Homo-oligomer: A and B are copies of this chain.
Amino acid sequence: MITVCDVGPRDGLQNEPDVLPAETRAELITRLAAAGVPRVEAVSFVRDDRVPQMAQAERVAELVAESHKVSGTELSGLVLNERGWERFRTTALARVNVTVAATDAFSERNAGMPRDEALRQTTAVLRAAAGTPSTATISVAFGDPFDGAVDEGSVIEIAGRLAEAGAGEIVLADTIGVATPRAVRRVTGRVAALGRAGGHFHNTRNTGYANALASLEAGATVLDASVGGLGGCPFAPRATGNIATEDLVYLLEGEGVETGIDLDALVDTSLWIAGVLGRDLPGQLARAGIPARR
């Protein structure tokens, strides 16, 4: 059994050009929950004017509170700083996500501060959130668009600091889609030795699904993916989307790994959100179809 976390409503939609209303985002979350997805990253607590795709996080959380209770799906929210944590606390979301980049260059570009300062703020949130289930994601853990290779020792050190601050699990994110399975297996194994580990893969260079499998083999207990591969536009010259949840589940079923997800309902959800956005998504199972007999 593996916990698949659908990050489509957050990481996916945040990287789509379209801005969907809170009601549509809530419907996506409700549909994912109805398909039995064990965890859904629902919202991000950021400034509405900075990331319009993620506006009205509290409203989305309120709209989905009921679906969460009914299905037992764990809903999470991304928190970037103490202000975000104060907003998170007013909602019924069950799990808090925090994130820190593995390199200075990416941290400066993405969070506007050096990595160590970002790590200080992240661990402060984790300490404030003690008692709430938490996930800490290390972004660009396998490669960085500015610096290239990432020092593995630094990643392990950051993971240690996050675990020490109370992170319930540590997810290694291949944010720019450069990782290959051997590195994933090695680093994930080292992080799994510290506590619960997970993987977050983008399929930018077609290695995402093989990486997810390698992560699982190395002891990961949670894998991120986004329904339809939301967040990566097939018509963009440099599509950088998450692996698609339904394609991942198809792969995992073939491996005999249980997910608790109803694959037909998940494919229907993928086709539904593709219809909302008015275009094909990068996920391939929804287009090719679930084979008749497996």
| Interface residues in chain A, defined as those with a beta carbon under 8 Å from any beta carbon in chain B | 143, 148-149, 176-183, 203-207, 209-210, 213, 234, 237-240, 243-244, 247, 250-251, 253-256, 283-285, 287-289, 291-294
**Contact (Cβ within 8 A) B148 A292:** yes
Docked CA distance A240–B289 (Å): 12
**Nearest CB of B to A223, in Å:** 13
Task: Among A177, A253, A292, find the residue whose CB has the most chain B CB atoms closer than 10 A.
Answer: A292
Residues of B within 8 A of A213 (CB): 181, 210
How many copies altogether?
2
Closest to A146 in B: B292
Closest to A240 in B: B288
Docked CA distance A292–B178 (Å): 10
14 A–B pairs (Cβ distance < 8 Å), ordered by A: A148-B292, A179-B254, A180-B251, A182-B255, A203-B206, A205-B284, A206-B283, A206-B285, A207-B247, A209-B209, A209-B210, A239-B284, A239-B287, A239-B288
Residues of B within 8 A of A143 (CB): 291
Docked CA distance A251–B208 (Å): 10
Docked CA distance A227–B111 (Å): 38
**Contact (Cβ within 8 A) B288 A204:** yes
Docked CA distance A33–B283 (Å): 33
Residues of B within 8 A of A289 (CB): 238
Residues of B within 8 A of A291 (CB): 143, 148, 176, 178
**Nearest CB of B to A208, in Å:** 8
Docked CA distance A179–B180 (Å): 21
**Contact (Cβ within 8 A) A180 B255:** yes
Residues of B within 8 A of A284 (CB): 203-206, 239
The 8 A-B pairs at the shortest CB distance, nearest first, are namely A180-B254, A148-B293, A206-B247, A210-B210, A148-B292, A149-B293, A178-B291, A204-B288
With A148-B292, A206-B250, A207-B209 given, name 15 new contacts (CB 8 A): A143-B291, A149-B294, A181-B213, A182-B255, A205-B285, A205-B288, A206-B209, A206-B243, A206-B244, A206-B251, A206-B283, A206-B285, A210-B213, A210-B251, A239-B284
